Structure 1
């Protein structure tokens, strides 16, 4: 190399000759050190071979993930140098994909466990629903819908507990269901009526009323959009709302004779038009109680089919409208709460219509109406038929009073 530089100096002049002098001096210094890199070629080749074999070892034994790249592309991140296998270039990574694979396996395991647990929960609830639905209705943390049969049984059990307690206190009542009914509802009504006496009143317009019956202000409707057809918007009625979001309009019968702008018959039909009423029920001519529940159930089922508020009134101010509605309210409330809330519904109906359910006999008959509504939804087997017949005695309040006072005169059987 030094000789070649010396020959080159002879042909070069100027600044370039000075640079060649520096190169020549450096080469002379290297010659003095006697460095020969060519002798290390064999060692370097051996090292290269060892590194290639080590790379192949990790690639095959530790299953490092490999990424195939097209010629000219380079890997990113923490990937190592390429390895040539079968003419194809692979890049090995340093364990990040192993962590990802572990995380995926963990998530799959969690999902599988959750799915198995969900299937078990569904299976258990399905079995409970089929074989132990009453337990779900009574004890489950989430409110479970009761079947008509379960509602029937709950209502029966409520009064059975009440009636059995009476029989324990007054042993001479055993075997006399009518007397038990009389005693229970007499006591219950005397206790409950104290909170259902006086409410806010609405001022009456007597010329527009058939009877001088007071009107509570609770949910009292008014006439609308009548122009000069009537003198005022007064209408003697109240709206009764149910949990099912249905409404009934309870009113008195129209006046026997009325005319001009205070005509209560015209007002009745205007109110029906205003509310898009589909049914106007004008029954309940009796002063006592019907001998059969069939007619009442027919009326109730028809009213249930209405999509707009029906209008219901008596014909002779016999207060049967309030009693019938009390039974329907008791039934509606019981379906919602699964509790026999006699007092709650007594207060509610007496807020709507003055004088409704005025005595213990009506109280008892309202419970009997509810009992019939429950029974009408159930296919009665032999056992439930016996229960149904036994508690039909709730309509025998008057007869029960006679029996009760007769029993009170008799000596108590100590056995």
Structure 2
């Protein structure tokens, strides 16, 4: 019998990002759609995150995954209880509670999961700073309405408390989100320890959801880690580092030597943010070099005069926002005079919206409260270069921290947005 075609949500509006089609979602790198998925789930849990709504019915949607030829593919889906009259409605979804009820055949955890938690408890107790630990006991909240039952909760003198969650089977995305956000608000580092990882096979999506939150680090308690923990008398784990679709490693790492970011999800080496920022810097370095020697007479990298001046102005705005005031676009003493002149003359009239977006998303945002902001509104051409224009696409590629909404949200989420791309807040 032929399988009935499955309806999908063909497009959604994601807060602060905009419209994302099903095709756009499939074309995104795994970490990009994965972080959007994290943020949507965080928001659904009533915490900070991103709201996503179906463009057909305005109902809330999330990103679920479907395995196609062994590869996890993302797609938007309505939450349970959505409007069945939506043309993209795909039927009832299993709720997390229903799914969780069958995970251990009615029990809260497997026997082996308990044994592994006890093993972690024995290792942390070897450390001379050890004060106490608990396993699956209620931890009262300090900043939350409800407490949690961490798999392992540890207190070390001079180090503070931390929590370990031991992930054996497919942990639900909603549960991952709830636990991560809970411990972030409590100020308690949370370490997800995976039950093994076979780097020769496709890593389960539930594991990738955890690895991504640890900045591309997969922590495993394997025989090598057990031996090292006993030798060093502290918690040592094997750490696999994401490298494209695969992983490097493993490396033996001590828990107390991991970097603990604002999210309270530790990592050994940042395999998520740092490589992207390095790639971006390398992408625009030739442009900075070209601009440094540009005489503003010859064409800039084959662009016409208005386009070249626009790029020069954009890089000037970013340089100034980065505390290194430069004016690549004119001989004016500062970028305010340069922008006002080119707007008044009509040179930048077509780029008013683009320049406004760029300025608003940088540390130069206070320019919009000066005459520059007035000129951007007053000398704005009715036919604006939009986000599909050649100019907008070029600058989004060169200055994605300010102009690529997906990357910008990722950097905000990971507390890695560069200072120059942080707007000045109004008093």
TM-score of the two chains, using structure 1 as the length reference? 0.26
More strand by share: 2
Structure number with greater CO (CA < 8 Å, separation at least 6) is: 1
Q: Which has the larger radius of gyration?
A: 1
Q: Which has the higher helix share?
A: 1
* TM-score, with length taken from structure 2: 0.26
